[in-house]
Amino acid sequence: QLEPVYHEAFPSFEGISVLVFRPGSVAVNASLVFGDHAPGPTPCQVLWTLYRKVKAARQMLGNLSLAENSLASDGSTLTDLALETVSIRFTAMQPFLSQFLVPGSAAFALLEERTLRQVTPVVSGFYKVHPQEGPLLLFSNADQWVDVYIEYKFQDPVPTHLRGLANHLAWNVLDPTLQKSSILANGEKAQLVLYEVWLKILGRPFTKALKDKTSTESQELHPLLTPQLTTVLRHLQNLVQVVVEEFQPDPLTARVAATFFRAAPAEALVQDCVRQGLHTLWEAEGLSVEMVIPDLG
């Protein structure tokens, strides 16, 4: 199970020998051999290669289940590796597909390429140094949208304690499917202000399909609302994004989140702008809409 992992990662890899099995489930000590015709990897690089493989396979190495926190290499542990890695998590507002759970699938590869093309240059610009190729990338289901998790590894320790990466990503990643209020970088949230607006859509029945973000009905109604509401609020200072979060029944009502950088305009001003601009939804899309205050009871 281990040999193909290291053959792929390091041209100088020659082989592996298991030295000791120890009690405690089964604890394994192994020796990796690298040739002298090319520089050998550092202990952290050896550890990263295995960690990335195991993490991407959800703690599996082939048919073996590994305890992630037990991984170590010549005294280097995941604590040492953390000094060289940057973790980022956010939601991509596109329907989740089961193929996103399978690294190497066509759907996974397409989303991976698009995601890294958008995010990697922004991370490099923040730290003024390029991460290693081959970051760890995982997709999972986030209430029918795609939860994206990335770990970048750098050759040397980076100031992961440095605050501001989340804000830097929110300002500079231009992918419209990235839900900027969901960004989490090195445990830090982007400093954003969210206002919720509830819109009752008249003359249109609620269907169960609208609860499913992958349905035709849901994917048709989202694009009718989002661009027009963005246009209505665009003139307000520090607008980041308008997101239709969900549809609720009886009558059909959309919960919309308007996101702003600090300092944001007053919530009353946002609501007033939406109320005054709703006629554009009728003129542009034929949607008759009223703003409502939800019954929180």
pLDDT at 296: 55
pLDDT at 100: 95
- pLDDT-derived band of residue 297, with 50, 70 and 90 as boundaries? very low
pLDDT at 236: 94
- How far, in Å, CA of 249 to CA of 275, rounded? 21
pLDDT at 275: 92
Neighbours of 98 (CB within 10 A): 9
- How far, in Å, CA of 200 to CA of 290, rounded? 5
- How far, in Å, CA of 73 to CA of 59, rounded? 17
User: 38 or 262: which carries more pLDDT confidence?
Assistant: 262
Is the pLDDT at 77 greater than 80? The verdict is yes
Mean of the per-residue pLDDT values of the chain: 91
What global pTM score does this model have? 0.87
Structure confidence by residue, pLDDT tens digits, 159-186 = 888 899 999 999 999 998 999 999 999 9
Structure confidence by residue, pLDDT tens digits, 3-16 = 999 999 998 899 99
Is the pLDDT at 258 greater than 70? The verdict is yes
- pLDDT-derived band of residue 146, with 50, 70 and 90 as boundaries? very high
Pairing mode of beta strands 85-92, 145-153: antiparallel
pLDDT at 295: 63
User: 219 or 90: which carries more pLDDT confidence?
Assistant: 90
Average pLDDT over residues 268-272: 93
Average pLDDT over residues 199-210: 91
Task: Respond yes or no on whether the N-terminal peptide bond of residue 263 is cis (omega within 30° of 0).
Answer: yes
For residue 45, what are its two tokens?
């690089």
Average pLDDT over residues 222-243: 92
pLDDT at 164: 94
Q: Is 253 helix (H, G, I), strand (E, B) or coil?
A: strand
- How far, in Å, CA of 30 to CA of 28, rounded? 6
Is the pLDDT at 198 greater than 50? The verdict is yes
Q: pLDDT exceeding 70 applies to what percent of the chain?
A: 98
Closest CA to 120 of 81, 84, 164, 169: 169
pLDDT at 18: 85
Average pLDDT over residues 28-56: 88
List of E strands, the chain: 13-23, 26-34, 60-61, 64-65, 72-73, 76-77, 85-92, 136-142, 145-153, 178-185, 188-189, 192-202, 239-248, 253-261, 288-292
